[in-house]
Amino acid sequence: MMSEPAEILDLDLIKIGFITGGKKVFLYPVISSHAKTGELIAIIGRNGIGKSTLLRTIAGLQSPLAGIVRIEGRNLDRYSRNQLARKVGYISTEVVKTGDMRVYDLVSLGRFPYTDWFGRLDSFSHSAVMDSIKLSGMSDFAQRYLTELSDGERQRAMIAMVLARNASLIILDEPTAFLDIKSKYEILQLLHDLVKQQNKTVIFSTHDLHSAIDHADKIWLMLDRGIIEGTPEELILNNAFDELFADSPMKYKRSGKIKNYRQKSI
């Protein structure tokens, strides 16, 4: 099966932002981009540039102020909440720490779009939950309470919740922000495996340039003038990352080092 991977996400001239007091507040220039099945995409950009807003817009949690977001070729507006939940998984920077909730309970909630009115899991849903827990490396923790887990384990549990609903597009907002080095690389490896082995599409935002370059298939570089996208190699060769350091004497080197070009005399 060597056919061209299917296009799962299409951002068609969208404008992101919010509406306050009846006025549209645009946060960012027009965005046009797309993602294919089996791609791991990292979004990089300074704080406040609109990464979270873009991710929330893709996840259908807020509407674009202009343009069309298409998931598997269909306008996101045309999906019901339930249908969208089956396609797109979203993990924000807020990690769930509900008291008295077990990992199994959390992951079961991932089956929400499929369960009956009382939220009962049938045997298929149960298998899906157990598969997702296993896939995210949480098999030994299934009956542990969320409050007993480390930050990295909780993040895995959140990923398992998204996997349980069999979403093909997974959106994560700074999934490694509060993690220690080991957990950070484990999560990135997990995302990488999901993309390569389970054929998921993962889009995540991060401030960690190095791990984005190491792990991602593609980087969406959110600069003030718009998004530049490409493979990590292309962006390095075009010196695209230098624009991240626009107002500073720092420069990104091809070796992966960030060097200070400030003159000694200043």
Partner 1 sequence: MISGRSYPGTSGFNPSLTRAWIYMGLIAGLTLCLFILDLFLGSVSLKPGDVVNAILGISDNTTGIIVRQFRLPKAVTALLVGIALSVSGLQMQTLFRNPMAGPYVLGISSGASLGVAFVVLGFSSEISPESLSRLGNWMIVAASWVGAGFVTIIMIYLSSRVKDIMTVLIIGIMISGGIGSLVSILQYFSNETMLKTYVIWTMGSLGNLTTPQLTVMTVSVAAGIILSFATVKMLNAFLLGETYAKSIGLNIRLSRVIIFAGTSILAGSVTAFCGPVGFIGIAVPHIARIIFRTSDHRILLPSVVLTGGLVMLLSDILSQLPGSDNVLPVNSITSLIGIPVVIWVILRKRKYSEIF
Summarize as ranges the residues that interact with partner 1 (CB under 8 A): 59-61, 81-82, 84-86, 88-90, 92, 94, 96-102, 104-106, 109-110, 112-113, 115, 117-128, 130-132, 135, 143, 147, 161, 163, 165-166, 198
Of 4 and 94, nearer to partner 1 (C-beta) is 94
Of 50 and 232, nearer to partner 1 (C-beta) is 50
Smallest distance, Å, CB 179 to partner 1? Answer: 18
**For the chain, how many residues are written?**
266
Of 30 and 109, nearer to partner 1 (C-beta) is 109
Give CA–CA dist 250/236, Å, rounded.
Answer: 15
Smallest distance, Å, CB 202 to partner 1? Answer: 14
Distances (CA, A) of 208 to 24, 28, 175: 31, 22, 11
Of 15 and 102, nearer to partner 1 (C-beta) is 102
Helix (H) or strand (E) holding 104: helix 103-109
Smallest distance, Å, CB 99 to partner 1? Answer: 5
Do strands 201-205 and 169-172 pair parallel, antiparallel, or not at all (unpaired)? parallel
Smallest distance, Å, CB 33 to partner 1? Answer: 21
Smallest distance, Å, CB 250 to partner 1? Answer: 35
Helix, strand, coil % in the chain, rounded to nearest 5:
35, 25, 35
Of 45 and 60, nearer to partner 1 (C-beta) is 60
Q: For residues 187 and 176, is the Cβ–Cβ distance under 8 A?
A: yes
Residue 153 CA to its chain's centroid (Å): 17
Helix (H) or strand (E) holding 231: none
Of 123 and 255, nearer to partner 1 (C-beta) is 123
Smallest distance, Å, CB 87 to partner 1? Answer: 10
Q: For residues 45 and 223, is the Cβ–Cβ distance under 8 A?
A: yes
Q: What are phi and psi of 194, to 5 degrees?
A: -60, -40
